[in-house]
Amino acid sequence: MNKNLIWTIPVLVLALGGAAWLYGQNPPSSITLRQPQPEVLVVNLPTPVTISAVISGDVISGGVNLLRIGVNGQSTVLGQLSPNVSAGANGYAIAQTFNEPGTGTITLQLSIAIRGQLRRLTSKPFLLAVSTKAITLPPDPGEAGKATLAGIDSDKDGVRDDVQRYIVFQHPESEKTREAMKDAARALQAALLASNDKNLSITASALQTKAANCLAYVRPQDITDIIAALQVAFINTEERFQATNVYSSQLKGLVTTSPRPTERKFACSFNVDGLGN
């Protein structure tokens, strides 16, 4: 046997053992993102956005990068977050100015260099929306929004907070689409909450028919895709899934009618012609 090899094995084991001991001394690292302020930008309006997070671990100085993720997955460093006590203990923040020429969404992510770790720690991606007008969003309810059948509607507009956020981030380009989707979300909510009562379920079904006709007027080219995606975002817990099944069973044998295409806009709860886009 090669004598060099005999010596290499214990040395390698010792080195790996030492490395394991070294890494074991580092506390676990984590990122808690704060909600960006604001989350919705207006086209062609330079806007500083405060992005902050609480980061545990031995963060290397200057090692907290704000990344912009492109449609092809490539990332660009926009700047570095600095220690900021206003963000909390172990808080970091940056005020990054955006000036976007068109509507859409911006995908961002944090990348952090932690001492003693070979790979950078990354946050989950998060979004900013770019719209034609300023929009105030409710806070992300997180898991608390899934704790009950009704969920959380902090601004009392009849649309669950998580669904309201989904609508804005999916369609920042069109106010008409957002309003029509909010009609649909209110109808879905009515259906969930009425699922154990046949008469209330029939009433909720009428609301759903109206909302579908409104969406068909506003988005005739892709209404099926929009409704399908909205339902996926809306029915996001087992309890809501089961309530939807019960609601559907209440409507067996029910026949509904639809207005003529030219009259569908009257099914909307808002003035379609009064909105610019």
Q: What is the CATH number of the domain that holds 109?
A: 2.60.40.2550
Say if residue 80 is in the same domain as residue 180.
no
Q: Is residue 245 part of a domain?
A: yes
Euclidean distance between CA atoms 186 and 193, whole angstroms:
11
Q: Is residue 4 part of a domain?
A: no
Q: What does residue 77 show for φ and ψ, rounded to 5 degrees? A: -80, 120
Q: pLDDT tens digits, residue range 32-77?
A: 999 999 999 999 999 999 999 999 989 999 999 999 999 899 999 9
Say if residue 188 is in the same domain as residue 106.
no
Q: Is residue 85 part of a domain?
A: yes
Domain boundary among 103, 131, 159: 131
* pLDDT over 90 (residue 219): yes
* pTM across the whole model: 0.84
* pLDDT over 80 (residue 136): yes
Say if residue 152 is in the same domain as residue 243.
yes
Q: Is residue 2 part of a domain?
A: no
Euclidean distance between CA atoms 200 and 186, whole angstroms:
14
Say if residue 124 is in the same domain as residue 163.
no
Domain boundary among 131, 166, 184: 131
Say if residue 62 is in the same domain as residue 152.
no
Say if residue 152 is in the same domain as residue 117.
no
* pLDDT over 80 (residue 109): yes
Domain boundary among 109, 131, 153: 131
Q: Is 44:129 a contact under the CB 8 Å cutoff?
A: no
Say if residue 180 is in the same domain as residue 257.
yes
Say if residue 187 is in the same domain as residue 250.
yes
Say if residue 58 is in the same domain as residue 121.
yes
Q: Is residue 261 part of a domain?
A: yes
Say if residue 88 is in the same domain as residue 201.
no
Q: Is residue 16 part of a domain?
A: no
pLDDT at 21: 36
pLDDT at 48: 98
Say if residue 152 is in the same domain as residue 238.
yes
Q: Is residue 35 part of a domain?
A: yes
Say if residue 235 is in the same domain as residue 257.
yes
Q: What does residue 122 show for φ and ψ, rounded to 5 degrees? A: -125, 145
Euclidean distance between CA atoms 99 and 128, whole angstroms:
12
Q: Which domain holds residue 266?
A: 142-274
Sequence-separated (6 or more) residues with CB below 8 Å from residue 100: 41, 43, 44, 106, 130
Q: Is residue 192 part of a domain?
A: yes
Domains: count for the chain:
2
pLDDT at 249: 95
